[in-house]
Structure 1
């Protein structure tokens, strides 16, 4: 189901709770909502659609990849960039890393660990920040 975008900064600054298999509907809602905004959005976190669970989704070319309970375990090569967010107006400068290693559960709740680089790493960092209650 396509959900409205949450713009309540107090809500968005809350740290998300770990997701469980009971939260699979949130994954579907994130997929549907990202698809509805695909012309101007490349990633979302569950708190952006009103769920306080630690779930993100990131667009990698034609694939939207859900990641459950993501944790960045390594960061390399910091840089400054400017980002926007569907939940906030305007753009802001933020620090990102060109390469990150992420531990997460996939949509079947199977453990994964991957290294992401460049733009996809930036998307994942932005969405992980949402899970930690950090706004750009």
Structure 2
């Protein structure tokens, strides 16, 4: 089932998500719905707060980006051809490598894209959908998406990395998003 995506301005987007246990109600269905919602919205990642759930859960599929890159472009990234994963109860253990900028957007903040600098590598402890524990290092575009979605489960948004002047320049657009005055081609809800 395609779920509505929570728009900028909703309190849930600023909450730190709670860890969950394997008996979380209808978890398997929730994950399936998140995949369906992400793909229907043309996203490459989706975090539970974006569907109004303040839990530490996100899905991501960086392979979609690589499908649309030329062969030469793919060689620029260490994580080609990308990955598709579910992350439950994720916690960052290390951030490594030089920071690099990439033009990011967010389904909860539609029609705004900005260059955001993030570390090249993240070491993450997380559980998969079978609640198997993992500690894994991610690089490239996969690390970028993971860090963006991880921010969501920590109550942060990509616009938090912008310089104050840039954020001030976007304030009108952000206000319009929070009031439902922005057109999108996916289901969105506007709550406080």
Whether TM-score is above 0.5 comes out as yes
What is residue 55 of structure 1 aligned with on the other side? 57
Shift of 1:8: 4.1
What is residue 105 of structure 2 aligned with on the other side? 84
Contact 1:104/1:112 (<8 A) preserved: yes
Bigger strand fraction: 1
Shift of 1:11: 2.1
Unpaired segments ≥5 residues, structure 2: 65-82, 159-192
If the length of structure 2 is used for normalisation, what is the TM-score?
Answer: 0.65
Contact 1:15/1:133 (<8 A) preserved: yes
Bigger helix fraction: 2
> How large is the RMSD of aligned CA atoms in angstroms?
1.6
Task: Give the 4+ runs in structure 1 shifted more than 3 A.
Answer: none
What is residue 31 of structure 1 aligned with on the other side? 35
Q: Deviations over 1:6-50 (max 9, x none)?
A: 10422211111112221513222211211222xx31001011111
Distance 1:93 1:67 in 2: 25
Unpaired segments ≥5 residues, structure 1: none
Matched positions, count:
134
Distance 1:60 1:73 in 2: 21
